Amino acid sequence: MKNDTQYLQAALKAAGFTGQDILELTVNQGSITIKRKELNQQVDLTLTLWLTFTTSVLFTILLWKQQYSQISLTGPNSIASYLLILGTISGLIAFTYEFCQNVAFKTQKKIIFWRNFPSIILSFTAILATSIAGFFEIIKLLFSGASFDKITTLVIFMSLNLALNYLMAVIGYRLTIPFLRSLFTVVIIGGVVLAMATNQNLHWWQYNLSYLGTNQSNSWWQFNLTLILAAGIFLALIDFIFVFLPKTQQLIYLRIILSLIALNLAGIGLFPNNPNLHFWHVQVANFLVIMIIILIVLIKWLLPNISSRFLHLSVLSGVGLIGLEILFQFIGYLSLTVFEISAFSLAFAWLVLLFDHLFILANRGTISYELTLKQLQ
């Protein structure tokens, strides 16, 4: 019994619990979960309400300065334009405050937390602004020409701003590394799909996927910003995951290659396929493809303990990319758009699977103890 007590104490110490912590034990379907109970498990509603009140006062002042009796839902000097500015600022403040209280990230090394702090804040700022803009693009299609009197406008603004501030506060407080991984997927897929859907040229697909990022597309900024945001989240994920992995030579090389892939992804957004930047766009895109192929080829050496299932998926992904290249470059069966979308989807899916595998490897550092329970009644 003494040894069991020592094991339990060692396990609690390894989890980072202290004598001042209040622990919460949960029994669910034959398993027991012990976690630190937070004294304040909810977001700070006071801050959320104050932010909403402050932005609403500013909006009221700006609203009553206007000469118009009716305020448009979208367009210049509309609910959308004011919420895009004031809502982004207040939402960012709510997110930043709650993120600094986030236990999941505060338990990381301080240098890791603060190194990724600017990247996460900038990413969520852009995500918030882009989401608001995208939301009102859809609203514009559904309620074209809608306008309201000033009182109704103020009520709509306050309601949307309150919901926005609370949502950002909850995300900041509940943000976890797995959530970042999911966000990476949502941002890159959602951003590209939104750029496709809102493009005024319905025949963009007759050119190529990169057309969405050129100055000939009205949604160029959404497409390019999506790639830059995804790259920022990608880099933050790499930094957080590799903290839990051993510092072997292979994993160091893996981290370098993944970082280069993230930087090249951002480079495609920074150098759109405009005539004056075409050369750099092609170079960055080619280097991105080369890095992914190198990663797939070397994955068994970079991750010696790789599962056979993931290895088979890697081989299939590599063969698929080579097959697409042959069908496009040498046979001419695939159009440029089909080739780009297919190759991008295949490479992106494989990278998501790689992150899943790295999470599994990172969690293998869990310490297990065997305890014997006696005299249970």
Tens-digit pLDDT profile for residues 58-93: 998 888 887 777 888 888 888 888 998 999 999 999
pTM for the full model? 0.64
Name the more confident of 358 and 194: 358
pLDDT for 90 equals 93
* For helices 220-242 and 177-197, angle between their N-to-C axes, nearest 10 degrees: 170
Using the predicted structure, report yes or no on whether residue 203 has a pLDDT greater than 50. Answer: no
pLDDT for 206 equals 47
Alpha helices, H only, the chain: 2-14, 45-64, 79-82, 88-100, 103-106, 110-142, 150-174, 177-197, 220-242, 249-270, 278-302, 308-325, 336-363
HSE (side-chain half, CA atoms, 13 Å) at 188: 25
pLDDT for 89 equals 92
Using the predicted structure, report yes or no on whether residue 26 has a pLDDT greater than 50. Answer: yes
Least confident of 243-257, 293-307, 337-351: 337-351
HSE (side-chain half, CA atoms, 13 Å) at 86: 25
**What's the CA gap between 190 and 131, in Å, rounded?**
10
pLDDT for 367 equals 46
Least confident of 103-107, 237-241, 347-351: 103-107
Q: Predicted confidence band at 216 (pLDDT cuts at 50, 70, 90)? A: low
Residue range 332-361: mean pLDDT, rounded: 77
Name the more confident of 40 and 358: 358
Domain ranges for the chain: 45-175, 214-364
Q: Predicted confidence band at 369 (pLDDT cuts at 50, 70, 90)? A: very low
Give the β-pairing of 147-149 and 31-36. Answer: unpaired
Using the predicted structure, report yes or no on whether residue 205 has a pLDDT greater than 90. Answer: no
Name the more confident of 373 and 25: 25
pLDDT for 357 equals 81
Using the predicted structure, report yes or no on whether residue 202 has a pLDDT greater than 50. Answer: no
Least confident of 181-185, 277-281, 351-355: 181-185
Is residue 323 a contact partner of residue 377, using CB atoms and an 8 Å limit? Answer: no
pLDDT digits (tens, 9 = 90+) for 155-166: 999 999 999 999
Using the predicted structure, report yes or no on whether residue 138 has a pLDDT greater than 60. Answer: yes
Is residue 272 a contact partner of residue 210, using CB atoms and an 8 Å limit? Answer: yes
pLDDT for 201 equals 46
3-class SS at 35? strand
Q: Predicted confidence band at 312 (pLDDT cuts at 50, 70, 90)? A: confident
